[in-house]
Structure 1
Amino acid sequence: MEAQTVAKLIVEEVICRFGVPVSIHSDQGRQYESLLFSEVCKHLQIRKTRTTPYHPQSDGMVERFNKTLATMLSSYVSENHRDWDESIPFVMVAYRAAQHESTGYTPNMLMLGRETATPLDIIYDMPTSWKQVPSHKWVWILTDRMERAHNLVRKQLEGAILRQKHYHDMKMSYEQFKVGDQVYVYFPQRKTGCSPKLTSYWRGPFKVLAKVSEVLYKVNCGRNGKDQIIHCDRMKRCRGQVLRGEDPDLGLESLELGTSDSSNVPIDQEDQDDDFGSSSRNIEVTDELVGDRRPRRERRAPTYLQDYVQD
């Protein structure tokens, strides 16, 4: 897959058949980000947009179709899996003749205004008197079918899109960030020789440079510190480490310089000399430092163990 091959196929198979599109939305593959592809879009006045890295939801319709196609191919390919490319045209015939869940129509009806003939139609052929249409009325009938089908699809798609967005937003948690925040960025890249279960895919911390939209941010997490546009579901806030007994509202600078209020509290000389001899006093001090934020569990000796020693 090279930039020259992709540009040639788009021009010959898409533009020459269906016309010049207003925009082309793709992932950040090198063949789509090359200078050749950019020049083609520039001369044809096509607006080029791209997805954010490692976020396939941006072109979810294409990715969902790829999953459907792979599922259908898995039922037809042979055991050696070497002839899957030869089965694509025959699988697509079945896909174009199947009714779409969101639209309620087959792709053949929406593209051609009619259903294509299948082997089943040839076997159970309808009488010609039922299917015959006068030739001078065909253009009008075809246009009328296309308009009625597209109007019904637009109404049905509106509800389907809202329903799909509702279920999609139920699983998402969009956290808002500000310029200058320290964040970790998720990079799902496996390292050779490392176990995926023990590998941490969060890198950082990085700095948020700008807010592009409600869900997109510019972060200096690229190679050599270059800027990248990152979706918020791949980001999480970098929070400072707060030890037990410390105030979480204090800044890191005050903790490093030792200017917090806890450093000025005098320590009882009697508590230093007894070397934590009293367990009850230790529990009281711990509860005072922790407060309501993180109470400690009280450990009790089991009734069936008489020799249990509490530390």
Structure 2
Amino acid sequence: MDIVGKFLMAPGQNVFLLIVADYFSKWIEAEALSKITDLQIRKFIWTHVITRFEVPEKIVTDNGPQFTSHNFKEFCKDWGIRFSFATPRHPQSNGQAESTNKIVVNMLLKKRLGSSQGNLAEELHGVLWAYQTTPKTSTQETPYALVHGAEVIIPTEMHVKTTVSGTTSQEENHELMSLSLDLLDEKREAARLRNWSYQQEVANTYNKKVKTITFQQGDWVLRRADKTTGRLTPGWEGPYKLIGVWGAGAYRLQDTKGSKSAKVRESSVSLAFGFSPIPAPSKSDSGFM
């Protein structure tokens, strides 16, 4: 689940999108809102998720104040929903939301809205319809089919007859629908295996291009900044001297003044290339010539 915006003002003063995506089927629910509070998020989950599908097992979000509020945490606790955060240091844990946001926003802004970006709410439903009825590379199925058990008949097929919309009788259609529902579990299992296989292929392709860097005691490194105040704020701070290796990708650092830091993960450390500390002046160098 994630919040996207601000967009240009739309009718109803809607400038934000609240988006939730199912990890397996890639099904998306979204709503255009003027402002996003924890109350609106609770209403959204109740209206668009719980009453339409089922109580989700887990929700992954960022650390936005709407998601970290006491009321929202109590809402998840009351419904038995596990709740976890994706931190800036490990954004991969919310990769589904980031990927979905990129697709929806690109389709919405670049292909549908164009110069009339005030029609956010009106164009949203058409964008979601196009997304739900398009096969995904990872599963080779449409989100609509994985959720409802059968492929959707798009409006074009009502005018240009196909084998599905033009040649079957009502009785045959009922039989095909019943067969599709009977085979739904097998279809979902096959999609799950294809999704797993696709993720392995992507990971293997990515790992071939990754160069492994081994940190050793005594190396000078940079540490990822805990907080940034804007786009121009440096994302790394340091340099630090690596003074301890704790195994499993954890290190202990020391700054140039000798202060020790807490343990940090390997993903938050980068080599400080070309850095060499300036040696402290000796007593013999402190006199005048």
CA distance in 1, matches of 2:37, 2:249: 31
Q: Flag the 1:231–1:8 CA change in 2: closer, same or farther, 3 A.
A: farther
Greater Cα offset, 85-94 or 11-20: 11-20
Amino acid in the other structure paired with 1:169: N
With over 3 angstroms needed to count, the CA separation of the structure-2 counterparts of 1:190 and 1:114, relative to structure 1, is same
Cα distance, 1:17–1:217 mapped onto 2, change above 3 Å: farther
One-letter amino acid of the counterpart of residue 236, structure 2: W
Cα deviation for residue 57 of structure 1 reads: 2.4
Query: What are the within-5 Å matches in structure 2 for residues 1-311 of structure 1?
Result: 1-53=36-88, 55-73=90-108, 74-126=110-162, 129-130=167-168, 132-133=170-171, 137=175, 140-172=178-210, 184-187=222-225, 189=228, 191=230, 196=232, 200-204=234-238, 214=248, 232-236=266-270, 241-242=276-277
Distance 2:91 2:158 in 1: 41
**Shift of the alpha carbon at 1:118?**
1.5
Cα distance, 1:128–1:85 mapped onto 2, change above 3 Å: closer
In the TM superposition, residue 178 of structure 1 has moved relative to its aligned partner by: 9.8
Q: Which sections of structure 1, spanning at least 5 residues, go unmatched? A: 220-226, 244-254, 264-311
Shift in Å, 1:151: 2.8
Q: CA deviation at 1:139?
A: 6.6
Q: Quick one: distance in 1 between partners of 2:228 and 2:52? A: 38
Residue 282 of structure 1 corresponds to none
- Decide whether the 8 Å contact of 2:220 with 2:241 is kept in 1: yes
Deviation string 1:38-70 (CA, Å, 9 cap, x unpaired) is 111222222211112254322112111111112
Partner of 1:303: none
Q: Is the 8 A contact 1:23 1:46 kept in 2?
A: yes
Fraction of identical pairs, as percent: 25
Partner-residue secondary structure (3-state), 2:113: coil
Higher strand share: 2
Amino acid at match of 1:44: W
Q: Deviations over 1:133-170 (max 9, x none)?
A: 45875674132331332132123112101011223334
Structure (1 or 2) with the greater helix fraction: 1
Q: What is the DSSP-based 3-state SS (H/G/I as helix, E as strand, rest coil) of the residue aligned with 1:19?
A: coil
Distance in structure 1 (CA, Å) of the matches to 2:38 and 2:245: 31
Residue identity opposite 2:112 in structure 1: Y
Change (3 A) 1:70 1:139: closer
How far has the Cα of 1:78 moved from its partner? 3.8
Q: Which amino acid aligns with 2:119?
A: D
Whole-angstrom distance in 2 between the partners of 1:212 and 1:18: 45
Q: Report the equivalent of 2:4.
A: none
Q: Which has the larger radius of gyration?
A: 1
TM-align CA RMSD? 4.2
Question: In the alignment, is the contact (CA less than 8 A) between 2:251 and 2:263 conserved in 1?
Answer: yes
- AA paired with 1:149? K
8 Å CA contact 1:28, 1:51 repeated in 2:
yes
Rounded Cα–Cα distance in structure 2 between residues aligned with 1:120 and 1:136: 22
Paired position in structure 2 for 1:275:
none
Q: Quick one: distance in 1 between partners of 2:263 and 2:128?
A: 35
Higher relative contact order (CA 8 A, sep 6+): 2
Give the secondary structure class of the aligned counterpart of 2:222: strand
Q: 1:124 to 1:228 in 2, by over 3 A?
A: farther
